[in-house]
Amino acid sequence: MTSRAPAILVLEDGRVFRGEAFGSVGETFGEAVFNTGMTGYQETLTDPSYYGQVVAQTSPQIGNTGWNDEDDESRRIWVAGYVVRDPSRVASNWRSKRGLEDELATQGVVGICGVDTRALTRHLREAGAMRVGISSRSTDADALLAKVKASPQMAGANHVGAVTTAEPYTYEAEGTAKYTVAAIDLGIKRNTPRRLAARGITTTVFPAEATVEDLLADGPDAVFLSNGPGDPATADHQVAVTRELLKRNVPVFGICFGNQILGRALGLDTFKLKYGHRGINQPVLDRHTGKVEITAHNHGFALAPPESGEFFDTDFGRVQVSHVCLNDDVVEGLTCLDVPAYSVQYHPEAAGGPHDADYLFDRLTALIDKEGAATDA
Amino acid sequence: MPKRDDIHHVLVIGSGPIQIGQACEFDYSGTQACRVLREEGIRVTLVNSNPATIMTDPEYADATYVEPITPEVIEQVIAREKPDALLPTLGGQTALNAAVALHEAGILEKHGVELIGADMDAIQRGEDRQLFKDIVIKAGGEVPRSAVCHNMDEVKATVDDLGLPVVIRPSFTMGGLGSGMAHTWDDVDRIAGNGLAESPTTEVLIEESVLGWKEYELELMRDRNDNVVVVCSIENVDPMGVHTGDSVTVAPSMTLTDREYQSLRDLGIAVLREVGVDTGGCNIQFAIDPATGRIIVIEMNPRVSRSSALASKATGFPIAKIAAKLAIGYTLDEIPNDITKATPAAFEPALDYVVVKVPRFTFEKFPGADPTLTTTMKSVGEAMSLGRTFQQALQKALRSTETKQAGFWTRPDPEDADLANTLEALRTPHDGTLYTAERALRLGGTVDQVHEACKIDPWFLDQVAQLVDLRAEIETAVVMDEALLWKAKRAGCSDAQIAALRPELAGETGVRTLRRRLGLRPVYKTVDTCAAEFAANTPYHYSTYEDETEVAPSNRPKVMILGSGPNRIGQGIEFDYSCVHAVQALREAGYETIMVNCNPETVSTDYDTADRLYFEPLTFEDVAEVHHAEHTSGKAAGGPGVVGVIVQLGGQTPLGLADRLAAEGLPIVGTSPQAIDNAEDRGVFGKLLDELGLVAPAGGAATSFEEARAVAAEIGYPVLVRPSYVLGGRGMEIVYDEDTLAGYISRATEASPEHPVLIDRFLDDAIEIDVDCLCDGEDVYIGGIMEHIEEAGVHSGDSSCALPPITLGAAVIEQIRHYTAKLAFGIGVRGLMNVQYALKDEQLYVLEANPRASRTVPFVSKATAVPMAKAAARIALGARIAELRAEGMLLPEGDGSDTAPDAPISVKEVLLPFKRFRTTEGAGIDALLGPEMKSTGEVMGIDRSFGLAFAKATLAVYGKLPTSGKVFVSVADRDKRSIVFPIRSLVDLGFTVYATDGTGLVLRRHGIDYTPVARHSGGTGTHTQDAVSLIASGGVDFVITTPSASTGPRTDGWEIRSAAAVADIPCVTTIQGAAAATQAIESAARGEITVTPLQELHQRLRGAERV
């Protein structure tokens, strides 16, 4: 067995965890967050929303199913660093093409393993998400701490530019194309256009800086606001675009970052959660149906709840807080009652995670049909 | 949707006696359910025939009926109690089947009882294989290609179509009973033939083999708002072909990507909805082709199951508790998560640890039984472990099973082991497959080779291979330094394992000393359902070697109670019952109770039971570390730390640790380890008996056949022989002549000066008596005197018995009381003691005295309304019997030896597992009772007369008691006189008699007509039929057969007994049993069986003081 180099993880508040090198050997910095999913590490690593974050997996056995060619949620791994307890030395799955660690090394992702990830998680839970550094080059904790303190903060960070597509591209509908959607790529995951395509939707994905004119040039039936990394308070351009779309009565569906943009467009503020929601077991109540869905979450920021409670008035009419997280009452979704727009803070496209919220894509086609009928009339 | 306001009274059905495939996990579920319902202000009526359950303690229900679980009896309960609803999903297959029977007989409708938590159509859809198959397909899933067959012609046509091998499963049986894999046409004939007979609907399913595929289970919950959550995924390490109850399993699943896991989740939910499970828990099993990922849905259980108990313990999500709440109308989002308190139960637990379950087998108890693991469950218990890695959890689980191998490398390899024969051995699934896989890898086999042989997923095999690499590293390291020791401990190695690899470290003690000097101690993490995302309020801990411990400081006085580990024959739920009682009594007395146990099926490992739960192996190392953690943290908090460790209540497991724990300085309370040893040491105990003037059967010890022959000749045959250190009567035999003695010495033992064979005079025809008592050093309190129905020589755990004694005179009882007190004071008992006596020719012999909780404690407690184990725990911590009398825990005056003449009679009867085992040739195994314990569980019958009580006990075991029909009788010469009277009674009741020639002749001379049948071995001769075929074909309703002196395979008695066991026909093998059964049948035939709740009986028993 090849022995691993010692590595350290140092948090901004000075707490040090020791482990061993995992993936690429080097030094990395970011915001320390934890993910509680017990499956789906490949999807997590390739989710652009994790850009700038060092992700600790609370699930201890990571890498068991290797790395395959189908489950990437984007073109590359985005996490700034990766923290695991016990990485697998073999990959066992009929779809696996290579090992997780090889993939991390190939993509230059610095990780650390053998860490008491539960202690780390408890610390982040109590102290909140904070900056972190990992080094498998030097085990000088003081030196690393100084660098951590000099690294950029997540609050106020605009990371969308780093992850968005350079050029527009199109994802074709499955079977007969019934609808077209223009998606703003703020860090979109591959499964989103896939779930849209399954409903006969052709999706054109635009760069984050696309204008209303760019988006509506081909007359799409709706605009989709994707998930993405960074502080939603910095997404002023997308908020302005969204307000214009609402004015024009264009159907809008947003998820995650997109939920925060819609919320801001409707006048709500965003704030940073203490340690965020990152996992695939989060219970959300859909107030339309009274049912609970188990959902995939990845958000460090959230919409500030309106003072008036479930319903509130906006420039675009009445809006309902349609979804809430049962664990902590965080706003998880908005539905506009007077304009064709809705959004959720979580991930109906899952990948990884349960498919309970898949119905939200059906709501999009229903909304388009309803708007179409209204326009035709 | 809040609680329904139209349900005020719920009937809960338990699962009856412990049996293979249905063990104490249903006491755990049922106890939770009863507690929840009562907390909700609902009146609870409970029916369960098993006295060794916590749920049948009177405080868990408003009316507790320790009565047989049969439709007739339950109808009486319903008529008397008039419940609004029946909750049948928490008592295993027994309760579900009872509910179906009640429904089909129209009883529920007649009495206006609503079924809750289940839907009759959904039960049918889940359990009927063809209906289920259609549902899976409708839900978008795949099933194995298959056909339901009703006769052998259909079976043959189907097998022709599918090709061998095929799987054969009978419908409506539990624990996979009667199912199996057929590789040849002979197998098909045998398994399908038996299966058609076993199935109450005469149906078997023949299906495409998915042998060697990956196997998964999901535990799901649904509420009436159609919210569904997956509580846990479980992956079987053993591939398809081994019953999940016999597999090593791991949670969560280890080798699925998210896509594949979500496919299982989607399918599971779709099937659940399609089946229409009303509310509550359900379990779905899947097979996945490892090469292609093709998913097959195997089966579902529309109820709380063994796996749900495991999943509850593995995740901290209490499935049974939640199921009970859902049944009365709550939805998941309305129920708080017990552990976090702040978040709802509508979520899916996230684990940040790995859970491994390892089954515990007892093949050594059933000579001749085929030890190959198949789709019929054969294990009798299980151990679970939690670790932060798979390797750690696996190694902890292996040492938790308390088999000869206490983890890898702790026993030498078989002498002739090489790679080739090790790989060959892996082709047949067996107890300890992972040990064999480890050996193969160590002998140079590759993961691919081992996978090819046993089909275990390469990921698991690589984990074992990593341990093999670690072993090499430990063996070859120049010095065992801190880094390497840390690495070994993190991989879950015990000090004993490391010691086995590094002899120079001077054994386990040496490793421990080194480890502690280096400051390497385990930390304790918490099971919190959410991977630390939210703070946990429940101290449910497991050990690991990592940075941070989560043991909360507390300054209260702490008492550790050591549990009994995995269930096995001889040490089961009865001991867990006593442990739970100790926790309850000591919690109430103000102590902080700390439970240590590794059995996921039990009430003791419910995080609600003790103040703190440590899910840890019951080894010296693991227990000592828990003590260290609790004691030091308690001291640091300014408290006294651990003030007591209770080892007397969990059976042999904790008792075996007592000496070492005491030497380590742990405060063992109660009877001192030295006193316990004295009672077990034959020499010391013999001397004590002499001093006290008590008599034991003549006997001696021998280290060779010559010595044994001399001893036996002196004391006279028959003799009882056994190895000097025994558990549950292991290796005990009654020997009637010198040849058999020679055979025993050469076959059954390794007699040596260190391990002599003990030879005692066997008291033929003696009455055996069991006594449970308490002693505080000043007083002795007799809990109960039990008279065995079988003669001495049948293991007390296998005997039925009556309390109060039914034939003993006042003088004998006085003598028993006197003897017992002398023994208790002589030994120095501080707590419980069990004494076994034999009464022969008016002489009382002391057979054994065990200064600890016995198997009969729950039975005695239920029969006398005195919580013996609670009192023992209090005595251990210094309370006096006088004090406990004053408190009302014990009777204010008198005790269990002076029961009122009109007190009800309680009968304990046992359940034997013979029908689950087959020889490699497929025949049944011998169903004879002897000095070695073989039963898995017990029932209790209570009524005003012995006959009625015994009838209830028999009903509870067999589900039926023949009151007319055909009886087959064949008894040994010495029993021929005694059999006449019982048979005449049966004839008077209208039975017709079938008998073998010898027995028949005696009957005829007493004027009883019979139909002669041949003994099987002699051929039918002039007779038209033989006994074995008659029984096997179900041609009789009742079998009475007593063994002749020589027992063993291939004698007539053996074949008759095994045929009765296979055909599940009530079979009595002792003459006393025949007499008792006859009384029972007479009583039942007169239709006198009535039901009475335990609360009423107890009030009557303790009435005097209450008034």
Residue B740 has pLDDT above 50, yes or no: yes
Both structure tokens of A165: 């597509």
**Least confident piece of the model among A85-99, B43-57, B724-738, B897-911:** B724-738
More confident residue, B699 or B475: B475
**How confident is the model over B312-339, as a mean pLDDT?**
94
Neighbour-count burial of B1015, counting CB atoms closer than 10 A to its CB (0-12 exposed, 13-18 middle, 19+ buried):
buried
Side chain identity, residue A171: Y
Q: A236-264 burial by CB neighbour count: b if 16+ within 10 A, else e?
A: ebbbebbbbbbeeebbbbbbbbbbbbbbb
Preceding amide of B904 cis, omega within 30: no
Alpha-carbon distance B1077 to B971, whole Å? 15
Tell me what pLDDT residue A1 has. 43
First to last CA, chain A: 72
Residue B752 has pLDDT above 70, yes or no: no
Tell me what pLDDT residue B727 has. 45
Distant-in-sequence, close-in-space partners of B244: CB < 8 Å, separation ≥ 6: B215, B217, B234, B236, B285, B307
Residue B291: CB atoms within 10 Å: 8
List residues forming the annotated binding site of B: 129, 169, 175-176, 208, 210, 215, 241-243, 285, 299, 301, 722, 761, 763, 768, 793-796, 836, 848, 850
- Per-residue confidence at B725, pLDDT binned at 50, 70, 90? low
Nearest to A36 among B227, B233, B531 (CB): B531
Tally of residues, chain B:
1107
Tell me what pLDDT residue B751 has. 53
Contact yes or no for A39 and B256 at CB 8 A? yes
Kindly give the interhelix angle for B258-275 and B129-138, rounded to the nearest 10 degrees. 120
Give span(s): CATH 3.40.50.20, chain B. Answer: 9-118, 548-669
Say if CB A14 and CB A130 are below 8 A apart.
no
Q: Is B265 on the interface with A (CB under 8 A)?
A: yes
Tens digit of pLDDT for each residue in B760-790? 888 877 899 999 999 999 999 999 999 998 8
**How confident is the model over B648-664, as a mean pLDDT?**
93
Tell me what pLDDT residue B330 has. 95
Catalytic residue among A31, A101, A256, A336: A256
Per DSSP, B22 falls in state B
CATH class of B917-1085: alpha beta
Residue B696 has pLDDT above 70, yes or no: yes
Say if CB B261 and CB B105 are below 8 A apart.
no
Provide the strand spans (E) within B60-151: 63-65, 85-87, 114-115, 146-149
Give span(s): CATH 3.30.470.20, chain B. Answer: 678-694+764-903
Q: Is B1017 on the interface with A (CB under 8 A)?
A: no
Alpha helices in B768-834 (DSSP H): 810-827
Alpha-carbon distance B193 to B155, whole Å? 9
Residue B129 has pLDDT above 80, yes or no: no
Residue A100 has pLDDT above 70, yes or no: yes
Alpha-carbon distance B598 to B617, whole Å? 6
Domain B9-118 matching CATH 3.40.309.10: the answer reads no
**How confident is the model over B989-1002, as a mean pLDDT?**
92
**How confident is the model over B1009-1031, as a mean pLDDT?**
77
Tell me what pLDDT residue B645 has. 98
Tell me what pLDDT residue A218 has. 94
> Does residue A213 have an active-site annotation?
no
Q: A304-321 burial by CB neighbour count: b if 16+ within 10 A, else e?
A: ebbeeeeebebebeebbb
CATH architecture of B357-517: Orthogonal Bundle (1.10)
CATH code, B548-669: 3.40.50.20
Nearest-neighbour CA in chain A from B545: distance (Å): 9
The chain B residue lying nearest A274, using CA atoms, is: B533
Tens digit of pLDDT for each residue in B432-472? 999 999 999 999 999 999 999 999 999 999 999 999 999 99
Give span(s): CATH 1.10.1030.10, chain B. Answer: 357-517
- Per-residue confidence at B730, pLDDT binned at 50, 70, 90? low
Neighbour-count burial of B363, counting CB atoms closer than 10 A to its CB (0-12 exposed, 13-18 middle, 19+ buried):
middle
**Do β-strands B642-646 and B612-615 pair in parallel, antiparallel, or remain unpaired?**
unpaired
Alpha-carbon distance B187 to B209, whole Å? 14
Tell me what pLDDT residue B130 has. 79
Task: Report chain B's mean pLDDT, rounded to a whole number.
Answer: 91
Question: A39, A60, A355, A17: which is closest to B532 by C-alpha?
Answer: A60
Nearest to A65 among B256, B262, B291 (CB): B256
Q: Sign of the CA dihedral B657, B663, B666, B671?
A: positive
Provide the strand spans (E) within B732-830: 733-735, 757-761, 767-775, 780-791, 801-803
Give span(s): CATH 3.40.50.1380, chain B. Answer: 917-1085
DSSP letter string, B1011-1027: EE-B-STT--TTSS-BH
Alpha-carbon distance B751 to B796, whole Å? 25
Q: Which of B456, B459, B466, B542 to mutate to test the interface with A (most CBs of A within 10 A)?
A: B459
Alpha-carbon distance B743 to B758, whole Å? 15
Tell me what pLDDT residue B871 has. 98
**Least confident piece of the model among B22-26, B36-40, B62-66, B1014-1018:** B1014-1018
Residue A335 has pLDDT above 60, yes or no: yes
Q: Which of A92, A100, A126, A291 to mutate to test the interface with B (most CBs of B within 10 A)?
A: A92
Side chain identity, residue A5: A
Kindly give the interhelix angle for B433-442 and B458-476, rounded to the nearest 10 degrees. 60
Nearest-neighbour CA in chain A from B252: distance (Å): 8
Question: B661, B612, B615, B657: which is closest to B633 by C-alpha?
Answer: B612
Give span(s): CATH 3.30.1490.20, chain B. Answer: 700-759
Say if CB B410 and CB B500 are below 8 A apart.
yes
**How confident is the model over A342-367, as a mean pLDDT?**
96
Alpha-carbon distance A284 to A347, whole Å? 11
């005295």: which residue's tokens?
B849
CATH code, B678-694+764-903: 3.30.470.20
Residue B1045 has pLDDT above 80, yes or no: no
Q: Sign of the CA dihedral B685, B686, B687, B692?
A: positive
Residue A25: CB atoms within 10 Å: 15
**Least confident piece of the model among B72-81, B583-592, B699-708, B1088-1097:** B699-708
Q: Is B477 on the interface with A (CB under 8 A)?
A: no
- All residues of chain A having their beta carbon less than 8 Å from the beta carbon of residue B213 are none
Question: B865, B851, B874: which is closest to B894 by C-alpha?
Answer: B865
Tell me what pLDDT residue B368 has. 80
Tens digit of pLDDT for each residue in B237-254? 999 999 999 999 999 999
CA-to-CA separations, A67 to A45, A53, A77, B545, B704, in angstroms, rounded: 11, 21, 12, 29, 64
Say if CB B118 and CB B45 are below 8 A apart.
no
Tens digit of pLDDT for each residue in B892-905? 999 999 888 888 99
Domains of chain A and any CATH numbers = 6-150 (3.50.30.20), 160-376 (3.40.50.880)
- All residues of chain B having their beta carbon less than 8 Å from the beta carbon of residue A42 are 257-258
Q: Which residues pair with B543 in a beta bridge?
A: B524
Tens digit of pLDDT for each residue in B555-610? 999 999 999 999 998 888 999 999 999 999 999 999 999 999 999 999 999 999 99
Per DSSP, B363 falls in state G
- All residues of chain A having their beta carbon less than 8 Å from the beta carbon of residue B254 are 61, 64
Side chain identity, residue B481: D
Nearest to B547 among A36, A43, A119 (CB): A119
Tens digit of pLDDT for each residue in B524-538? 999 999 999 999 989
Q: Which of A41, A45, A55, A61 to mutate to test the interface with B (most CBs of B within 10 A)?
A: A61
Can you tell me the ipTM of this complex? 0.97
**How many CA atoms, within 13 angstroms, populate the side-chain half-sphere of residue B711?**
25
The percent of residues above 70 in pLDDT, for chain A, comes to: 98
Helices (H) and strands (E) in chain B, counts: 39, 38
* Secondary structure class of B241 (helix, strand, coil): coil
Alpha-carbon distance B327 to B89, whole Å? 10
Tell me what pLDDT residue A177 has. 94
- Per-residue confidence at B51, pLDDT binned at 50, 70, 90? very high
**Least confident piece of the model among A44-53, A112-121, A158-167, B404-413:** B404-413
Per DSSP, B478 falls in state S
Tens digit of pLDDT for each residue in B199-232? 778 888 898 889 899 999 999 999 999 999 999 9
Tell me what pLDDT residue B724 has. 63
Q: Is A64 annotated as a binding residue?
A: no
CA angle in degrees (0–180, nearest 5) for A361-A365-A369 = 160
**How confident is the model over A73-85, as a mean pLDDT?**
97
**How confident is the model over B924-937, as a mean pLDDT?**
80
DSSP letter string, A210-253: --HHHHHTT--SEEEE---SS-GGG-HHHHHHHHHHHHTT--EE
Segment (H or E) for B215: strand B214-222
Tell me what pLDDT residue B889 has. 96
Distant-in-sequence, close-in-space partners of A126: CB < 8 Å, separation ≥ 6: none
Alpha-carbon distance B513 to B526, whole Å? 27
Both structure tokens of A240: 């302005």
Residues 36-95 of B with CB under 8 A from A: none
Tell me what pLDDT residue B934 has. 86
DSSP letter string, A171-210: EPPSSS--EEEEEE-SS--THHHHHHHTTTEEEEEE-TT-
Residue B1106 has pLDDT above 50, yes or no: no
More confident residue, B250 or B375: B250
DSSP letter string, B138-203: HTT-----EEEESSHHHHHHHHHHH-SSEEEEETT-STTTT-EEE-SHHHHHHHHHHHHHHSTT--
Residues 47-66 of A with CB under 8 A from B: 58-61, 64-65
Side chain identity, residue A170: T
**How confident is the model over B403-429, as a mean pLDDT?**
94
Residue A297 has pLDDT above 90, yes or no: yes
**Least confident piece of the model among A154-168, A261-275, B704-718:** B704-718
Tens digit of pLDDT for each residue in B379-400? 999 999 999 999 999 999 999 9
Tell me what pLDDT residue B785 has. 97
Segment (H or E) for A332: strand A331-336
Tell me what pLDDT residue B1107 has. 36
More confident residue, B196 or B499: B499
Question: B86, B103, B91, B98: which is closest to B44 by C-alpha?
Answer: B86
Give the domain B700-759 fold: Dna Ligase; domain 1 (3.30.1490)
**How confident is the model over A282-304, as a mean pLDDT?**
96
Tell me what pLDDT residue B920 has. 75
**How confident is the model over A138-160, as a mean pLDDT?**
94
Q: Is A228 annotated as a binding residue?
A: yes
